[in-house]
Amino acid sequence: MDFAFSDEQEELRRTVRAFLADTSPETEVRRLMETPEGFDRALWRRMGTELGLQGLAVPEEYGGAGCGPVEVGAVMEEMGRALLCAPFLSSAVLATTTLLRSDDEEARKKLLPGLASGELVATLALTEDSARWDAEGVQLTARESAGSWLLNGHKTFVLDGACADVVLTVARTGDDGIGVFWVDGDASGLTREPLPTMDPTRRQARLDYDDVPATRLRTHGDGWDLVAQVLDHAAVALAAEQVGVASRALETAVEYAKVRHQFGRPIGSFQAVKHLLADVLLEVESARAAAHYGLLAAQNDDPELPATASLAKAFCSDACLQATEQNIQVHGGIGFTWEHPAHLYLKRAKTSQLLFGDPAHHRELLAQRIGMEAVGGTA
């Protein structure tokens, strides 16, 4: 299996990197993370109309480019490098994948063109107070009333939940099954509250539902099967972003080690610093291989995707956190200051480590998915 990007995919990476260098420098990241929405809607629409980024995975019949997870992963990697403040993960990955893998052609026709063009922002609301990423964590209820559905309960840690135009909500139905429901962002009975987060470059929100009207998406079988597929695709996309974050942190550390002098020589010439950076390089390149393997599995609908997704998410989470932590260590005192961007990469790494389940959760999933039995009650 070839883990390298094709010439066309590399050109996509270069185009996105150049675009983000112009539109998402550190000054713009710091400005946007202080705004109410946390992103620039005009830029979001430009990304959809000029570059077609939000529609990469959307089939051409719905206004997209007809590409797949590998292209999305290449873009996510570049967005991670730039710490882009935009709802790409929530809208172009979570929500778009949910619609594509559902059995609801009507919803696809209504929503995908707007999502692909950047006119709409959508998200997937799954987790609640337990912060669980499994079916047992879903307690929000859906009941039928006069031929429609009403949702009651709450969701929390919802990516871009306060600004999304459409919220695809996972709820428990009367037959104790799981369903996915389309809710308009301005629906009656829906209250949205932005949450304070460690990472100000990626927004989260709490959503309260009080008899909120909703439309149930048609799915193949139980809705949790759909959600599980979406989480696997999202995990490998996030792993690619983590590679981008880690790569940029490593580059920053190496650049600083070349110019920072102690005892009349660059600190990068000291054996301890060399070994530290070499260890980080090994982790980053291993993470890149794991992420790319996961993207290829998603692209090909490989039966190994569930195991590969958990492997990639667990490994890339740890590698990304290590790279951003060591970047601060190499910088010393200046790396701990608000003015230096190192802490922004560390915060993105830490929150991404927990998103869609932490490494321990995914190692347990991996053991289950490859048929290993837990030893002593743990995987």
Reported as a single tens digit per residue, the pLDDT across 345-362 is 999 999 999 999 999 999
Query: 231 and 166, same structural domain?
Result: no
The answer to whether residues 314 and 258 belong to one domain is yes
Let me know whether 64 and 78 are in one domain: yes
Are 320 and 354 found together in one domain?
Answer: yes
Boundary residue ending a domain (221, 245, 260)? 221
What integer pLDDT is reported at residue 221 of this predicted model? 80
Please report the pLDDT score of residue 291 as a whole number: 96
The answer to whether position 2 is within a domain reads: no
Task: Determine the structural domain holding residue 70 and report its residue range.
Answer: 7-120
- CA–centroid distance for 252 within its chain: 23
Asked if 137 and 114 sit in the same domain, the reply is: no
Structural domain total, the chain: 3
Average pLDDT over every residue of 298-325: 95
300's CB contacts (< 8 A; 6+ apart) are none
- pLDDT tens, position by position, 42-77: 999 999 999 999 999 999 999 999 999 999 999 999
Q: Are residues 190 and 228 in the same domain?
A: no
Domain CATH code at residue 297: 1.20.140.10
Sorting pLDDT into bands at 50, 70 and 90, what band is 174? confident
Measured CA to CA, the distance from residue 148 to residue 153 in angstroms comes to 17
Mark whether 79 and 153 lie in a shared domain. no
Q: Which two tokens stand for residue 202?
A: 């990626």
Classify residue 152: in a domain, yes or no.
Answer: yes
Contact status, residue 171 vs residue 151, Cβ threshold 8 Å: yes
pLDDT, one tens digit per residue, over 208-249 is: 999 999 999 998 888 999 999 999 999 999 999 999 999 999
Map residue 105 onto helix, strand or coil.
helix
375 belongs to a structural domain: no
Is the model's pLDDT at 18 over the cut of 50?
yes
Q: Angle CA(23)–CA(25)–CA(30) in degrees, nearest 5?
A: 110
**What pLDDT score does 379 carry?**
40
Q: Which residues contact 27 (CB under 8 A, 6 or more apart)?
A: none
348: exposed, middle or buried (Cβ count in 10 Å: 0-12, 13-18, 19+): buried
Q: How do residues 81-139 score in pLDDT, each as one tens digit?
A: 999 999 999 999 999 999 999 999 999 999 999 999 999 999 999 999 999 999 999 99
The overall average pLDDT reported for the chain is 92
Q: Domain ends where: 120, 150, 185?
A: 120
Q: What tens digit of pLDDT does each residue of 278-290 get?
A: 999 999 999 999 9
Report the pLDDT value the prediction gives residue 169, as an integer from 0 to 100.
Answer: 97
* 170 lies in the same domain as 86: no
Question: For the domain that residue 100 is a member of, what is the CATH number?
Answer: 1.10.540.10
Domain match, 179 and 253 both:
no
